[in-house]
Structure 1
Amino acid sequence: MGLHSVVLVDDEVYTRKGLIKLIDWESCGFRITGEADNGEDALELIRTTNPDLVITDIRMPVLDGLGLIQQLIEEDEEPPVFVIISGYDDFSYAQQAVRYGVHDFILKPIDEVEFTDMLCRLSDRLLREQDEKEREKRLENQAIIESIIKNEADESVIAVWEAQLKMTSSSSLYYMFVELNDLHPWREAEEVPLHRFMDQVEQALQAIVGGEQPLYIHEHRNRIGVIVSDRMLKPFHHHIRPFAEALQANIELREGRVFIYAGCPVQGLAGLRGAYESAKEALLYKYIHDHDGIVIHSPNSECTVQYMPVDQELYHRLIEQIEEYRLEELERSIKQLFRRFQELRYAPEAVKMNIHQCVIGVIDIIRSMDGDERTLGSLNPVIGWQDLNLSLRELQRLFTAFAAESGQYICALRKERQKGGIHKIRTYIEEHYQENISLKSIAAKFYMNPVYLGQLFRKTYGVYFNDFLLQLRIGEAKRLLRQTDMRIYEVADRVGFSNPDYFVTQFEKLEKLTPSEYRAQLMKGGASEGASR
């Protein structure tokens, strides 16, 4: 398989050249086939070269990046994949990009590792899509139906196919997508190839409509397309929902969930494009109907899907609960988040964008604590699901697992940092024990609760703070008594005791003899055997 072609569009030449040098394009499965410094020139270049991928800036002279994407989408049935790079973190741009189906929105300066990872995943996706297209090209019948969907077939071809499907130009028909969900690489379940799932769909159709009824099924990337004729609906009183329910029930799966999306009815194969387009629109309502997995498009529906960020209060609360590892509250917040996705009718791409925002927020926290998010087993599923078919229920499960594991990891990182912090506190005590320090003053200096600091010190070193401080001071006092002729009150002051009598009391408590007795023993040739050395 050859390399995927790429066109770079940016009005800053150093940005284009820098990107070309920064990335090992061939190892990612791509090659640069053209460059342009404005949208208008890029439009002609793309029309001429038909690249697989267009990487474009947003703000450019003549024709900006979004205008370029919009024009290509409007004039091309199969436009290239788009990736936007921008120096502006503007949600309105990202929102519009989502509507246009842009693969990714990347902010400058570009992170080499993340950009390379995105390209590798995109290359894999394009390879899968190319394989599917090649299979489709080998199936002449499917190609003909595609031409009908695109309004490219003449009346004679349509008449032949209507006869094959036992239809007339006045017969009612629907176009339907059948989609297998929740079988992904991170789940302990056998993956079902699309061609095998297609066989299962065909068997289920035959079971509910009978073997004599001609069928048309077709692969559409990661789902199956089905033409549902009025004859097929006859046993269901010509209603599409009970037909969809029967089909869903008859597809035998050991794992996973089947989702079905039906468009609006049209008259005859000449109207197939309208049926197909309305079925595609039904895909946008997937997560709204997650409970039963059946979406029937209604042209009269006034409820449109939403493309917007989640409530920021909920987002910040969720991030805080992850960081503080409040698991029960976190699970409630995640349930609330996903309930809002349904209640406010979020489009799948908007759900993707908001989940991505939450994941990035958590990763930023982990990195700020010198952690490595790649150690999380739940990371790859929650960032790698975008090109897969997942139900909202499964996505919630994956995100909950990520949030819980991240919270636990952040908690462990915090404990590690606290261990490092307590060592710094010990060093500080050892350097300042001669001064008037206390547990309370040190806790204030290091912005800690004194009770907690005392507990942490005892747990870490097996000794109470006051006992540790006393040992340091008495140890230094003994050295001064051995090596100098300083008076007792001078020694007391030097090691941090403002009251000489209290110093004598504490020295005797620890050494079982007074400072004077300790020095006297030294003068006689050695300290008492009972004294600590």
Structure 2
Amino acid sequence: MERHRVILVDDEVFTRKGLIKLIDWEACGFHVAGEADNGEDALELIRSIRPDLVITDIRMPVLDGLGLIRQLIEEEDEPPVFVIISGYDDFSYAQQAVRYGVHDFILKPIDDAEFTEMLSRLSERLRQEREEKTREQRLEKQAMIESIIKNEAEESFVANWEEQLNMTSDDSWYYVFVELNDHHPWRQITEEMPLYRFLEQVEQVLHDLVGAQPLYVHEHRNRVGVIVPERVLKPYQNGIRMFAEALQDNIKVQDGRVFIYAGCPVEGLARLRNAYESAKEALLYKYVHDRDGIIIYSPADEGTVQYVPVDQELYQRLLEQIEEFKLEELDRTIKQMFRRFQENRYAPEAVKMNIHQGVLGVIDIIRSMDGDEQSLDSLAPIIGWHDLNLSLQELLRLFTAFAVESGQYIGELRKEQQRGGIHKIRAYIEEHYHENISLKSIAAAFYMNPVYLGQLFRKTYGVYFNDFLLQLRIGEAKRLLRQTDLRIYEVADRVGFSNPDYFVTQFEKLEKLTPSEYRSRLMKGGASARTSR
């Protein structure tokens, strides 16, 4: 953390040295940047060092503390904060100190605990004021850049800025976008980096690369814009690409990638809009240059970007492989589709459109099978990334994850459909068992292969179809024999046997006695029970 600079002013050397040793300045957020034993020397030191805080005694030779404070307040637009320490408890001094806006008036001997607490509070106040000032300067800078980009700035305004930048209308400028990619809510990352922190890092790297040269940084919703004067490119063989490479190499982000886009150079700050527009053109070639993430726009070098759908043959093959869950073939098809995005110069919007089409096709399949696409963990990222900065490689990873999970889910839905279908078939058998039905006729009614149906029925219920049908019919025959006086041939007809003899044979096979014997046993059992009563 950057420490606030403080200067100690006191004609007693022991007081100054005692303060330095007594207080843990670093812990309080300060760094002692200088000392003076009189107001006049302190004045020169303050003008040179520009401290944040001056701690001064009142009574000193040449120029006293109040005189020092008065002179700095009169001549400085942003004077430092003042704290007075004095061995004199004089109310008039305190009145003057208040009038000058002095932060605190402290009597000697100094209580180190109270002094430390005062410094800590002041450090926090200075930190907040510094952050607010930085925000205001950035807003002013952004307003300036936006007014020039929108062609709303007057000539005098532009000339004033060129003068502040020590440049002329003949100097050349680039507009550069710096973009953090692949940081999104659905990816486990070591540390999140909001845009303001990324902007601060970009500013620091730019300062390290070109020193104090003016490189104005501007926030563009989800990326950072930088105005680069051509003169700062001299150490980089006057090349914007080499400068972009150095910028990219020095911005350190975990779990992400940095993309750099540069437009064409323009002469004069007034033409900054043209540089900005060409930098926006460079954004369209993002996925063409996904490998290195550096795009230097040149109309002569770049072909026209495409806004077309992928061919239907590839699209249908993709959906079929997801349905069939052929992982190796699916992986090849997805990679082929993304290669086409790159080789055929698809604009980012066209890539979004084609990915969206693929996602919708898969969702249609899932819904047609009575599934719920919201149960897919991979759905949210593949439909929610559109306003985020993602590299083509990250998009490939997200879409592959979606395709694989969708294929697994469709397979589960298919099994559920099969289970649901076989249950419908069982219900149909239970309702129509008394009719002349067979495995072949039921398979035809449900548009299934009879062999497959027989295997599925056996796998689901653990019994062969013919045995199940026989059990149903014999079970109903037993009920009719118990509860009615129907003749045997009538019972046979009621439960689906057109041949009474065959009915008797099947009944005896299952129950180990004929239908007549079964009814006689029931009659005897009933008579015996009545006799015993």
- CA apart distance, 1:281: 0.6
**Is 1:146 the counterpart of 2:146 in the alignment?**
yes
Report how far residue 249 of structure 1 moved: 1.0
Residue 401 of structure 1, CA deviation: 2.0
Contact in 2 for aligned 1:167/1:229 (Cα 8 Å): no
Aligned pairs (5 A) from 1:54-453: 139-189=139-189, 190-209=191-210, 211-301=211-301, 303-453=303-453
Q: Alignment partner of 1:329: what SS? A: helix
The Cα shift of 1:273 comes to: 1.6
2 CA distance for matches of 1:138 and 1:459?
72
Report percent identity of matched pairs. Answer: 80
Contact persistence 1:166–1:214 (CA under 8 A): no
1:454 maps to what in 2?
Answer: 454
CA distance in 1, matches of 2:387, 2:302: 29
TM-aligned CA deviation for residue 196 of structure 1: 0.6
Instruction: Structure 2 unaligned segments of length 5 or more: list them.
Output: 1-134, 528-533
Letter in 1 for 2:475: G
Deviation at 1:157, TM superposition (A): 3.9
Distance 1:204 1:372 in 2: 48
1:214 is paired with a residue whose SS is coil
**Paired position in structure 2 for 1:464:** 464
Which amino acid in the other structure matches residue 187 of structure 2?
A: R
2:199 partner letter: M
Give the alignment's TM-score, normalised by structure 2.
Answer: 0.68
Secondary structure of the residue aligned to 1:428 is helix
Distance 1:267 1:462 in 2: 84
Distance 2:323 2:299 in 1: 45
1:261 Cα deviation after fit: 0.6
Once residues 227 and 253 of structure 2 are traced to their aligned partners in structure 1, the CA distance between those partners, rounded to angstroms, is: 22
Distance in structure 1 (CA, Å) of the matches to 2:410 and 2:304: 39
> What are the Cα deviations for residues 163-192 of structure 1, in whole angstroms up to 9, with x where unaligned?
544544333331110001111111122331
Which blocks of at least 5 consecutive residues in structure 1 are unaligned? 1-134, 528-533
Residue in 2 that maps onto 1:107: none
Instruction: Tell me, yes or no, if the aligned pair for 1:164 and 1:214 is still in contact at 8 Å.
Output: no
1:218 alignment partner, SS class: strand
Q: Report the AA paired with residue 511 of structure 1.
A: E
Q: Which residue of 2 aligns with 1:510?
A: 510
Q: Quick one: structure 1 residues 336 and 136, their matched pair in 2 at CA, closer, same or farther if it must change by over 3 Å? A: farther
Question: Take 1:383 and 1:287, find their aligned partners in 2: how far apart are those partners?
Answer: 18
Which string of whole-angstrom CA distances, capped at 9 and with x for unpartnered residues, describes residues 310-332 of structure 1?
Answer: 21222222223333433333332
Deviation track 1:67-120 (CA, whole Å, cap 9, x = no partner) reads xxxxxxxxxxxxxxxxxxxxxxxxxxxxxxxxxxxxxxxxxxxxxxxxxxxxxx
Deviation per CA, 1:38-78: give whole Å up to 9, x if none.
xxxxxxxxxxxxxxxxxxxxxxxxxxxxxxxxxxxxxxxxx
Label 1:195 to 1:300 Cα distance change in 2 as closer, same or farther (>3 A). Answer: same
2:194 maps to a residue whose letter is: P
Partner amino acid for 2:421?
Answer: G
Q: Could you say if the C-alpha distance between residues 214 and 138 of structure 1 is closer, same or farther in structure 2, counting changes exceeding 3 Å?
A: closer
**Structure 1 position 288, deviation (Å):** 1.3
- Write the distance in 2 (CA, Å) between the matches of 1:186 and 1:300: 39
Q: TM-score, normalised by structure 1?
A: 0.68
Distance 1:369 1:504 in 2: 45
Q: Give per-residue Cα distances to partners, 1:434-488, cap 9 Å, x unaligned.
A: 2222222212211223233223323332322221111011212323344455554
For residues 431 and 150 of structure 1, the distance between their equivalents in structure 2, rounded to whole angstroms, comes to: 77
RMSD value, Cα: 2.6
Instruction: Give the 3 Å change call, closer, same or farther, for CA 334–136 of structure 1 in structure 2.
Output: farther
Distance (Å, rounded) in 2 between the aligned partners of 1:271 and 1:516: 109
**468-477 or 152-161: which moved more?**
152-161
Deviations 1:99-147 (A, max 9, x none): xxxxxxxxxxxxxxxxxxxxxxxxxxxxxxxxxxxx6896223322333
Aligned partner letter, 1:207: D
* 8 Å CA contact 2:454, 2:464 repeated in 1: yes
Question: For 1:378 and 1:223, how far apart are their aligned partners in 2?
Answer: 26
Aligned-partner Cα distance in 2 for 1:337–1:481: 70
Give how far 1:201 is off.
Answer: 0.8
Q: Distance in 2 between matches of 1:284 and 1:163?
A: 34
